[in-house]
């Protein structure tokens, strides 16, 4: 796990999860289709996702979905039912999957505060694990 430090166009810093830290989520689109993805990174603005299985129906920028469940990330229950919008998606590749950038649609100060707290907890865990 790490925090991205290089300068970029983003309004909020991203917290990057290590590839061995498996965090996945179940999503539901407006048509009740169920999708599954891994979380690659997180910020106060949204999530970076990787769909290992080709999302069917195909996702496209502008699509909306809701988070149903997150596994592997303690203290993330507050993200259930949060709506997200696909901002970009890379074409599906059989080995790499399909990567996507998704933004929270209704950003409240409470959501930002909870995400900052969750990221802080991840940093503390990362430091503790590095010390052992």
pLDDT tens-digit readout, 27-79: 999 889 898 999 999 999 999 999 877 666 677 899 999 999 999 998 999 99
For 115, the domain range is 2-125
Reported confidence tier of residue 91, pLDDT bands at 50, 70, 90: confident
**Predicted confidence (pLDDT) at residue 97 exceeds the cutoff of 90:** no
Rg (CA), the chain: 14
Distance separating alpha carbons of residues 65 and 104, to the nearest angstrom? 10
Whole-Å CA distances, 86 to 59, 83, 129 = 8, 10, 33
Average confidence score pLDDT of the chain: 85
Helix, strand, or coil (residue 72): coil
Answer yes or no: is 53 within a domain: yes
Answer yes or no: is 113 within a domain: yes
Helix, strand, or coil (residue 102): strand
> pLDDT at position 4, please?
45
> pLDDT at position 17, please?
86
Answer yes or no: is 17 within a domain: yes
Answer yes or no: is 130 within a domain: no
C-beta of residue 68 within 8 angstroms of C-beta of residue 28: yes
In this prediction, residues 114-128 reach a mean pLDDT of 89
Reported confidence tier of residue 127, pLDDT bands at 50, 70, 90: confident
Reported confidence tier of residue 2, pLDDT bands at 50, 70, 90: very low
> pLDDT at position 11, please?
62
Burial 86-116 (b: 16+ CB within 10 A, else e): beebeebeeeebbbbbbebeeeeeeeeebbe
**Predicted confidence (pLDDT) at residue 120 exceeds the cutoff of 60:** yes
Which DSSP letter does residue 76 get?
Answer: -
Residue 5 has which token pair? 């430090």
Distance separating alpha carbons of residues 70 and 39, to the nearest angstrom? 9
Tokens 């290089």 sit on residue: 6
**Predicted confidence (pLDDT) at residue 7 exceeds the cutoff of 60:** no
Total of domains in the chain: 1
Answer yes or no: is 103 within a domain: yes
């Amino acid at each position: 796990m790490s925090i991205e430090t290089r300068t970029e166009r983003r309004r909020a810093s991203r917290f990057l999860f290590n590839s061995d830290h498996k965090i996945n989520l179940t999503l539901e689109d407006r048509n009740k289709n169920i999708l599954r993805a891994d979380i690659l990174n997180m910020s106060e603005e949204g999530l970076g996702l990787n769909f290992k299985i080709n999302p069917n129906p195909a996702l496209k920028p502008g699509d909306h979905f809701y988070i149903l469940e997150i596994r592997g990330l303690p203290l993330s229950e507050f993200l259930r039912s949060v709506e997200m919008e696909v901002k970009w998606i890379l074409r599906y590749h059989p080995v790499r999957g399909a990567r996507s950038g998704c933004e929270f649609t209704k950003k409240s100060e409470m959501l930002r505060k909870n995400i900052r707290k969750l990221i802080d907890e991840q940093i503390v865990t990362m430091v503790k694990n590095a010390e052992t």
